[in-house]
Amino acid sequence: MGARAAPIQNPLKLNLITMASEYASSGEYIKHHLQNLTYGELPAGYERHDGEILSQSLWTFAHGAEEAKAMGFWAINVDSMLFSIGLGVLFLFFFRMAAKKATTGVPAGLQNFVEWIIEFIDSSVRGSFSHKNALVAPLALTVFIWVFLMNAMDLIPVDWLPYAASMAGVPYLKVVPSTDPNVTFGLSLSIFFLVLYYSVKMKGAGGFFSELAFQPFPKFLFPVNLLLEGVGLIAKPISLALRLFGNMYAGEMIFILIALMFGGGWILALFGGALQWAWAVFHILIITLQAFIFMTLTIVYLDMAHAEHH
């Protein structure tokens, strides 16, 4: 895996096959594809990748993981934001277009697809949510479609968009937002805040605290109850985020490893093409399943927030 890849002279051939041959080792190739395009502030006195020592703090794009780490908490992964927001806008655009063109007759085309999705979401909500809340079904629809679209970016060959970006001078481009833990935690924390809001709204602050402190053991063991229930509560957004991130990150890593085979000659390239196709077909199930799981757990957590335990 550490051997130098054979150079490819024709840039068009490079675009069609892989970028792996540009790197001294497969490790560099993998690191490059897993690096986000990060924008943030480097502190004064920091030594950059090219040896420059900053005399004052500088807002810039990170060149590598070390610079991204030095930028700290307020750095932003521009590529993750760009693709996630862009996919959200795409979702709103097509669903709005379907709503504007909806007719009372037999649906066809986009309207038929959108109605099928809405019926699927509606049946999922009815099966998992036993209370009344007009927010839950639209939220479930948004979560499912948005997560699915972000996951589906994994089906685009790993070198196409990064190569196009490099031609425009962009050093890094990570195109699958759900392989960024910042995105998955942002989604899960939003759901968590809704769970807390409705827990307090439906049960009152006292009722919510009683639920945490006085179950499942007798009331005099409230410290134990509070510890157990508190850990269980905090584990919800963490597990929600890490499940999505872990599965999508692993899938992206497999695509990257398969792409390395294209730099090893025509025999390996043909074998890699077959593997890539097979994994992409299987990955369609994974990206759909992960979106469904994220949506279902969102519905279940909100149902638990509405329920009163006695």
- The residues carrying an active-site annotation are 239, 243, 247
- Give 76's strand partners: 39
CB 74 within 8 A of CB 210: no
Beta strands at 58-61 and 76-77: parallel, antiparallel or unpaired: unpaired
C-alpha to C-alpha distance for 242 and 249, rounded to whole angstroms = 10
CA Rg value for the chain: 24
Question: Letter for the amino acid at 298?
Answer: T
CB 283 within 8 A of CB 156: no
C-alpha to C-alpha distance for 225 and 210, rounded to whole angstroms = 10
C-alpha to C-alpha distance for 91 and 87, rounded to whole angstroms = 6
Q: Which two tokens stand for residue 42?
A: 């480097």
Q: CA–CA distance from 147 to each of 41, 53, 90, 142, 255 (Å)?
A: 30, 41, 13, 8, 19
Q: CA–CA distance from 141 to each of 136, 167, 192, 288 (Å)?
A: 9, 37, 17, 13
